Structures are given as C-alpha cells and as structure tokens.
Amino acid sequence: MSRLSKQTSQQEFSSLKIPHTDPEIHSAIVHRLLYHLSSGVKHRPLIIVCIGTDRSTGDCLGPLVGTSLSRYNSSLFHLYGTLDEPVHAMNLKEKLAMIYEQYENPFIIGIDACLGQSASVGSIQVSEGPLRPGAGVHKELPPVGDIHVTGIVNVGGFMEYFVLQNTRLSLVMRLSDIIANSLFSAMKEWNRSILLSAQDL
C-alpha cells in the first residue's frame, strides 16, 4: 500500500458520514465513537457541548441532543447545551472558557447542525478534530471539540438563515434521537471497557 493510500484510509476512518435511514447507523456511529474515545480520552474528563438555539428549527439539533442526554442524569459525562440552557453564538466563548477553567485537559465532543449538499441532507457525521460552529452562516466563532458529531439538516450555499428557519423539524428530531442514543450507548460501552481493564490490572 502506498503512502498516499495509507493516509487516505486513515482519513476515511477518522471521519464517518452515514444516512439516517441506514439500518446499521446506530452500530456504525457507536463503533466510530468508541474508536475516538479509546484513542483520546483515557482519564480526561468527558465534556459534551451541544451547540445551537431553539429559536431556529434547523439550528435546534444540538439543544435537542443535549436535552435528550440530560434525561439520563449520567455521571459519565458533563453536559452543556440544552433547550432550556442553550450554548449559542452569544455565549459560546464564555462557556468554553468556563469549561477549560473548571476541568483539567477535558476531552470535548462538539455537537451541531450543519448544512451540506442536497444528497447529504439527513446524514450524520462523526469526525476527528473540532467543529466550526457558525461557518454555515458565515460567523467567526471558536472551534469546539476534540471530535465532533454533526447532523446535516438542510442544503447549504444560499440564504443560509432562511434555510435553517425552514428546515423540517421531523428530520431534526430523528437526527437528534439517533445522535443522543448512539452517544450514550458508546459512553456506556467505553466506561464498561475501562472498568474491565482496571479489574485486569
């Protein structure tokens, strides 16, 4: 295998994009999240930052995921961004500063909606590295996350604010359910593996 093809296959594994209608989507996302968690978290505090606002249908994906995760009342992670307390353009810098002040070397998972090509609408992406919130609507905001999960909620490239306001809530709800369930399943599985490893020592 040439060096180029090695780099390509590594890039492909560091990023997953899968349609929400794929019957294997849950296991595919869990598997990819476990790959990133096992290689990056170790003993770092796990933080989930769900970005968006409930004032825009297309942009409420993050807060919906956060609200679903908050119902688990879990000690496995620290959560920021729900429908009641959203993390958005106006308070993102402040929230990130607070996270880095409160937690030592946190491992952050960023969650956000994004716009994409027509054929990709309804897909969920899990990628290494930070997400760039606000990029779809030409806002300069700080990058978020060691890894990120995004749902492609509508088509980008033209009148982005109008497109986000006119996104189908049913699609956003479906994507948020899949993301929240997959995230929690992956974190439970990851925590179980940590406990089993500790017993083997």
Contacts of 150 by beta carbon, 8 Å cutoff, 6+ apart: 111, 112, 113, 114, 124, 125, 127, 131
Does residue 105 come out as left (phi exceeding 0), alpha (psi in the -120 to 50 range) or beta? left
4, part of any domain: no
Does some domain include residue 112? yes
Spatial separation of the C-alpha atoms in residues 133 and 86, rounded to whole Å: 14
Number of domains in the chain: 1
Is pLDDT of 146 > 60?
A: yes
Residue 24 sits in a domain whose CATH number is 3.40.50.1450
Partner residues linked to 79 by β-bridges: 48
What stretch of H or E contains 173? helix 169-200
| pLDDT band, very low/low/confident/very high, at 199 (cuts 50, 70, 90) | low
In a domain, 10, yes or no: no
Rounded distance, CA 119 to CA 59, Å? Answer: 19
In a domain, 96, yes or no: yes
Distance CA 23, CA 33 (A): 18
pLDDT in tens, 77-125: 999 999 999 999 899 999 999 999 999 999 999 999 999 999 999 999 9
Q: Does 3 fall in a domain?
A: no
| Residue 8 maps to a domain | no
Q: For residue 119, tell me if it sits in a domain.
A: yes
Stated pTM of the model = 0.89
Domain of 172 in residue numbering reads as 16-192
The CA distances from residue 23 to 19, 87, 119, in Å, are 9, 31, 18
Residue 201 domain-assigned (yes or no): no
Q: What SS3 state is found at 45?
A: coil
* pLDDT of the residue at 103: 96
Kindly indicate the confidence band of residue 5, based on its pLDDT and cuts at 50, 70 and 90: very low
Q: Kindly state the tokens that stand for 110.
A: 């960023």
R_g (Cα) of the chain, nearest Å? 17
> Do the beta carbons of residue 108 and residue 99 sit within 8 Å?
yes
Output 198 or 168, whichever has higher pLDDT: 168
pLDDT of residue 57: 93
Q: What's the order of all strands across the beta sheet hosting 78-80? A: 15-19, 123-128, 147-155, 107-116, 46-50, 78-80
